[in-house]
Every structure is written in structure tokens, then in C-alpha cells.
Structure 1
Amino acid sequence: MLNKKVNYQGKESTWGYFIFLKVIKLAHYLTSKKEKLDFIKPEYEIERIDPYDIRQKILNISYVDWKQLGFSKGTLHYMKQNAKSDKPFSLNAHVLERVSKWESLVSGQK
């Protein structure tokens, strides 16, 4: 997360660097080197990968199949909770890869 890009004061930076700058500004404010402290929020975007078909795949995966792909029951439980909700969610690339791998395993068994 700290390496994700964010726009701040017209420049693209990482969250880590943005937080570093804010800490320095806070330290200067607390030590009376600066009289003002800005509370400008950076602009950021989150890419979401949660189309309907991905949600359905997640809901259809059994815990046994998921374990055979090398994931824990807890990971699938968490993903199923997200898939059931109406809120958007994102998947890590390796998780999305395994969901696709599961789909090919299932279609190969038919």
C-alpha cells in the first residue's frame, strides 16, 4: 500500500513518501518552526476487480477445492463475505490467478 501512487500538490508520489512529508511538516509545526499545518488530502484511485462473474466464481468454489489450490479456508471465507456484499472489493493478482485456475480445473472435470 505504501508504494501505491498518489497525486499531491500536482506531483505524483507514493503513499510512503507522502506520509514522510506529512510527518516532517507535523514535526516542524510542533517545534514551532512552522506556524501553519495544512490538511490537504491527496487524490488517489483504487482499481477494483469485482465484476459479477468473479463474485459468482468465488461463491461457487468449495472449501475442499480451494484448499487443493493451496489457500486457507479463512481466505476463501473472507472472499465469500466480500462477494456476498454489494460493496466493491479487489483481489490480489495471485488470488485472481487461482480463481481462474480453479475454473479450468472444474471445466476439465466435466
Structure 2
Amino acid sequence: MEIRKLILDISYVEWKNLGFSKGTLHYMKQNAKADKPFKLNAHVRERLEQWEKLVANA
């Protein structure tokens, strides 16, 4: 549940600043809204963890 909430809270501008396209975030948000389990690629998960650390430090 924590990862789902984190994904839903990310803005497209912040995600773009990490170097990803808004399409990637769009599909992640769709998967996060669904109640089904989903997977993240390793490089996407790493960026998500980076974003989480940036938000925690701000």
C-alpha cells in the first residue's frame, strides 16, 4: 500500500525532473489505482526510491 500511495502522490513535473517520461508515470498511476498486484522495473523502482528520499529531506 505504501508504494501505491507514493506513486499516486508524485506529480508529473517532479517525475520528469528525475528523467522519466510522463507516460511511465501515467501507467504506474493506473496500476496503483487498480487493486491488482503489479511489478516495477528495477530502474523505475530505483528512481522511485530516489524520489522518496528527496521528499523526505525537503
In the superposition, the TM-score normalised over structure 1's length comes to: 0.52
Q: Which protein, 1 or 2, shows the higher relative CO under an 8 Å CA cutoff with sep ≥ 6?
A: 2
For 1:94 and 1:103, locate their aligned partners in 2 and report how far apart those are by CA, in whole Å: 14
Matched, 1:100 2:49: yes
**TM superposition outliers: structure 1 runs of 4+ over 6 Å:** none
Equivalenced residues, count: 58
Matched residue, 1:72? 21
Consecutive unaligned residues in structure 1, runs of 5 or more: 1-51
Structure 2: 5+ residue runs without aligned partners?
A: none
Structure (1/2) with the larger strand percentage: 1
Q: Which has the larger radius of gyration?
A: 1
TM-score normalised by structure 2 residue count: 0.95
Select the structure that is richer in helix: 2
Deviation at 1:86, TM superposition (A): 0.7
Deviation at 1:108, TM superposition (A): 1.3
Identity %: 71
* Shift of residue 107, structure 1, vs aligned partner: 1.2
